[in-house]
Amino acid sequence: MTYDLAIGDRAYSSWSLRGWLMFDAFGIPVRCLTARLYSDELPALLADFAPARTVPALRTPEGTVLWDTLAIAETLAERHPEAGIWPADGAMRALARSLAAEMHSGFQALRTACPMNLRVSYAGFAPDAEVRADLDWIEALWAHALDRSSGPWLCGCWSAADAFFAPVAGRIAGYGLSVAPRSAAYVAAQLAHPSFRRWRAMGLVDGPDQDFYRRPFARRPWPGPAPLPARAVDAGTPENARCPCGGGPAAHLLQAGGRVFGFCSAFCRDRTAADPEAWPEFMAVYHS
């Protein structure tokens, strides 16, 4: 049972991030179809997901199309009750749904001033009063939830509520926004989540920069986990004959730890080079 998910640029599309996390984090098979934002690619892709006009858009194995992240979350929870997309506890489940719904419909000042860009972390951005008010309310919501769950996630185990706030963590990291220590710890947990790391690794290499998201601020190192050093190379003999991720012939080469590994495509190699430890299949080969 495999779903089709239409998404935009991974570095920039916060809505696509939410939708994809609910597949990857819960182990639900999905095939991603990607189109570049602000280009003719997007309407061309979405023509196959009518009546959707925005990403993410989901097509179920039976052909039903959904085009809203809350609808995707609820539908996946119905179809995969064992996955734990919403908390099992009734009170926590209600809290998670309230958090996701408010994030889904609110915080316009933060969204507008700080569009998600997972490729950079800026220094020197000064939020105005409206953005600061959004951040203060987000922190109050997080504190309310964490008081009840005891962390590190909002409602106990990682749930759709955390998926909905993952782009906020990306914005706080990307614009160097000041938050209280408890909120900073939650942001750090989001940045270190394996699915978030995989998404960001792909976002670093899945196309050129989008000028719309460029800001005139100094840059600082990304505040998430430091990746294992790795780089693409043109020559060498790989230790593995088959790609650890895609399974195809190991024709595209990566060097890590003074060793050479092969991958079935340039994208598979480059996303691994961006953050090797985000990919368990590669790390199994690396540690073998």
CATH number of 8's domain: 3.40.30.10
pLDDT in tens, 21-59: 999 999 999 999 999 999 999 999 999 999 999 999 999
Amino acid identity of residue 250, one-letter, is A
In sequence order, what are the residues at sequence separation of 6 or more whose Cβ sits closer than 8 angstroms to the Cβ of residue 85? 22, 26, 73, 76, 77, 159, 160
> Could you tell me if 155 and 178 lie in one domain?
yes
Question: What is the token pair recorded at 13?
Answer: 């599309």
Whether residue 259 lies inside any domain: the answer is yes
pLDDT-derived band at 246, boundaries 50, 70, 90: confident
Whether residue 206 lies inside any domain: the answer is no
Q: Is the pTM of this model over 0.75?
A: yes
Mean pLDDT of all residues in 217-243: 97
> Could you tell me if 76 and 105 lie in one domain?
no
- For residues 199 and 13, is the Cβ–Cβ distance under 8 A? no
Domain's final residue, options 151, 178, 199: 199
Whether residue 7 lies inside any domain: the answer is yes
Domain's final residue, options 37, 53, 83: 83
> Could you tell me if 68 and 96 lie in one domain?
no
d(CA 22, CA 28): 8
In sequence order, what are the residues at sequence separation of 6 or more whose Cβ sits closer than 8 angstroms to the Cβ of residue 126? none
Whether residue 121 lies inside any domain: the answer is yes
d(CA 26, CA 8): 21
Cα dihedral 211, 217, 219, 223, rounded to 10, equals -100
Domain's final residue, options 53, 83, 113: 83
> Could you tell me if 155 and 185 lie in one domain?
yes
Question: What is the token pair recorded at 139?
Answer: 């922190």
Average pLDDT of the chain?
97
Whether residue 9 lies inside any domain: the answer is yes
pLDDT in tens, 161-184: 999 999 999 999 999 999 999 999
Whether residue 184 lies inside any domain: the answer is yes
Domain that holds residue 241: 230-286
- Into how many domains does the chain fold? 3
Whether residue 8 lies inside any domain: the answer is yes
Residue 25's SS3 state is coil
Exposed (0-12), middle (13-18) or buried (19+): which is 243, by Cβ within 10 Å? buried
